[in-house]
Amino acid sequence: MIAKRMTNIPKSFIREILKVASNPDIISFAGGLPNPGLFPVQEIQEASNKVFSSDGMSALQYSTTEGYLPLREYISARYKEKENLDISPDEILITNGSQQGLDLLGKVLIDDNDGVIIEKPGYLGAIQAFSMYNPEFYPVSLENDGVDMKELTTIIENNAVKLFYGIPNFQNPSGVTYSTEKREQIAQLLDKRNVLFIEDNPYGELRFMGGTKKSIKSYLPDSVLLGSFSKIVSPSLRLGWIAAPQTILEKCIIAKQASDLHTNYLSQRILYQYLTDNNLDNHISKITATYKMQRDIMVQSINTFFPGNIEYTKPEGGMFLWITLPNGMSAMKLFERAIEKGVAFVPGKPFYVNDNSDTTLRLNFSNVTGENIQKGIEIMSKIIRFD
């Protein structure tokens, strides 16, 4: 009875983990939630009061599929200001979080067995969304400065590949950021080979150290760029966007009509009001200052407590850090022990498409207090050292 595509989706092990981890007695490095202490609650309340006083009737009505034009203009202007990137409001579709962008792009681009390159380890939400369209995945290894270029080139040269989905800034799950050289090389290679790049950038503005890097779209204007307000304002508004050439965007708009008509209009109006009345950059610097502190505590705790043969990434932004255990050690086993001792994280397995690697794991630091980060890492290190 059930459609075949449903059997393609990896069962969400993470969902099970998050259920366990939601127990308040557990120190959870498992989720990917922003720090709720930083939500601009009062400002959003004020913004909503303004929207209701000025235009309550229309804010609650049906609206257009493309999204609220002033919000699209804001996004367009911000690209210009931050990166000198020319993306017109007509090339922007507001989506129900950038997660929806992944489903829409999967729908308009992927047929059965089409080649899709994805990072190894890759973002689970993208693996799930694309799996619905039954592609042939080509995972490409991540190094500390982005994907392994040799591997990428070999894959592209030897296979019919349609698109490459990547997260160049503070990747989920690894925390890795692509170097400028690799960004340029990727743009050149994909351009030459006519492979579409889908650049997912929900964390790019959460840089707390190092220099900003240009998006790959600035080297490759024909590519697709996804953005989101989830990590810089609030995820519950469910507001993200697709920035893409109009030929692609038009298809996404039609697909979105069949999917949910349009994105929550009240959220769009309130968010736009918030962005008009507040300085987003100031708000983001509060977030990055906090995340840097949390990240530093995590890096220091790992440095202090973990044995030296454990590798870890040192992210320059975002919300995640990635651990590689020495060969022979199992992340799944570590997970089982850690849960017993009140600490949760996500073992690396679900982030690999066709690989049974069990030596990696993801730690989230944005939603844990400094004290608990230290405590949790210490508990993990005891298990690693003595079990």
Ligand X SMILES: Cc1ncc(COP(=O)(O)O)c(C=O)c1O
**Considering the rule CB under 8 A, would residue 242 count as an interface residue with another protein?**
no
Q: How far is CA 240 from each of CA 200, 219, 229, 230, 254, rounded to the nearest angstrom?
A: 11, 22, 6, 7, 17
CA distances from 346 to 31, 126, 224, 334 (A): 8, 17, 29, 10
C-beta neighbour count of 199 within 10 angstroms: 25
Residue 29: CB minimum distance to ligand X, A: 15
- Site map (CB under 8 A) of another protein, residues 22-41, x = contact: -----------xx-x--x-x
Contacting residues for 356 by C-beta, under 8 A, at least 6 apart? 349
> Measured from the CB atom, is 290 or 381 closer to ligand X?
290
Binders in 161-220 for ligand X, by CB under 6 A: 167, 172, 200, 202
Task: Assess 271 for contact with ligand X (CB under 6 A).
Answer: no
Cβ atoms 287, 264 nearer than 8 A: no
99 binds ligand X (CB under 6 A): yes
* Residue 234 to residue 105: CA distance in whole angstroms: 23
Using CB under 6 A as the binding rule, whether residue 261 contacts ligand X is answered as yes
Tell which positions 298-337 bind ligand X, by CB under 6 A: none
Rounded to a whole number of angstroms, the minimum distance from the CB of residue 172 to ligand X is 4
The residue within the footprint of ligand X, chosen from 28, 35, 63, 230 (CB under 6 A), is 230
Is 230 a residue that touches another protein (CB under 8 A)?
Answer: yes
Q: Could you say whether residue 262 binds another protein (CB under 8 A)?
A: yes
Positions 36 through 95 that interact with another protein (CB under 8 A): 36, 39, 41, 44-45, 48-49, 52, 56-63, 65, 95
Q: Could you say whether residue 125 binds ligand X (CB under 6 A)?
A: yes
Phi, psi torsion values for 170, nearest 5 degrees: 50, 60
Which positions from 142 to 181 touch another protein by CB under 8 A, shown as an x/- string? Answer: --------------------x-------------------
CA distance 263 to 256: 9
Q: Contact, 272 vs 74, CB < 8 A? A: yes
List 1, 211, 386, 387, residue binding another protein (CB under 8 A): 1
Contact residue for another protein among 27, 30, 129, 368 (CB under 8 A): 129
* Beta carbon nearer to ligand X, 60 or 289: 60
Mode of pairing for the β-strands spanning 224-228 and 146-147: unpaired
Where helices occur in the chain by DSSP H, the ranges are 5-8, 13-21, 41-59, 69-83, 97-109, 124-131, 149-158, 180-193, 246-260, 265-277, 280-305, 331-340, 370-386
Residues that bind ligand X (CB under 6 A): 32, 97-99, 123, 125, 167, 172, 200, 202, 228, 230, 235, 240, 261
